[in-house]
Amino acid sequence: MKMTLHSLWLCAGLALACCTLTASAQMQPLSEAELSSMHGQGIVAMTNTSLNGFDFSKVSLDADIALSANLRNVRLGEYTYAARNGTGADLDISLLQFGRSDGSEAQRLVHIANPYFEFVYRNAADGASREAIGMRFGFEAISGDIGMKINTLSGSMAVTGIAANGSTVQLDSRSDALGGKRWDGSCTAPCLTLAQVGGVTAGDASGPSRDFWVSLLKTTVQFPTTNGAPATDAAQAGVWLNWRDKLQALNTSGLVPANLPKGR
């Protein structure tokens, strides 16, 4: 199985770079009295959990990130899948934009909180039998407008949209007969297809979207949920994207909003 992870690590690098930039500050000397009044915590948190015979080690950054970025031709998980090969990749995303330039100043940025990596191991009584199964990368919270053109999805995704006649339509990978593996987003009307989704607004008045992550696994894994996030579907082997919480389609025409630098 060939896994193309360049774009996944690019996303992670962007998040970490933004975190580093926003966290930098000039150091100042403090007296003993000033030090005694200070409180804080480390920026990196580590947690270990177990579920269904797997051990999970999560490394998260306690950071708030404002991001504007464009990614093109993201293809992750390139290998032959006999049941439905699709475009030859688990995820085939021709365009992924964080933020937009055709709206308000606030819409230029997408806000991300607490990016994390979580590593998965097969639980075993002895170290010799312990096996690395894979990992996932995600955000505990994300809000803002994200433009996207997804050609093939392997994952669990749900998006609500408003059709031209004013009716509510839904994109839901759970409607796919193969459970969302190499899905082209087609469905039986009335529904919302992937081709009709040019982007989403993540989060609503009640708070941000809380379940965005991408995994790379040898076998199917049910990840644990934390911090009040909704329960997720089991991630299948290969590359898998999970994103279901509080997603509203920007439109149902498939048009991706512009995301240009200021002055252009």
Return the closest-CA partner of residue 142 out of 61, 211, 229, 72: 211
Is it true that the peptide bond before 29 is cis, omega within 30 degrees of 0? no
Task: Give tens-digit pLDDT for 155-203.
Answer: 999 999 999 899 999 999 999 999 999 999 999 999 999 999 999 999 9
| C-alpha–C-alpha distance, residues 210 and 173, integer Å | 18
Q: In the chain, pLDDT over 70 holds for what percent of residues?
A: 88
Lowest mean pLDDT among 2-6, 69-73, 105-109, 119-123: 2-6
pLDDT at 216 over 90: yes
Task: Give tens-digit pLDDT for 55-94.
Answer: 999 999 999 999 999 999 999 999 999 999 999 999 999 9
| C-alpha–C-alpha distance, residues 182 and 161, integer Å | 22
Instruction: Between 145 and 37, name the one with better pLDDT.
Output: 145
Per-residue confidence (pLDDT) for residue 21, from 0 to 100: 43
Overall average pLDDT of the 25-42 stretch: 73
Per-residue confidence (pLDDT) for residue 20, from 0 to 100: 45
Cβ contacts of 249 within 8 Å, gap of 6 or more: 159, 160, 161, 162, 171, 192, 196, 197, 198, 199, 200
Task: Check: pTM over 0.75? Answer yes or no.
Answer: yes
pLDDT at 24 over 50: no
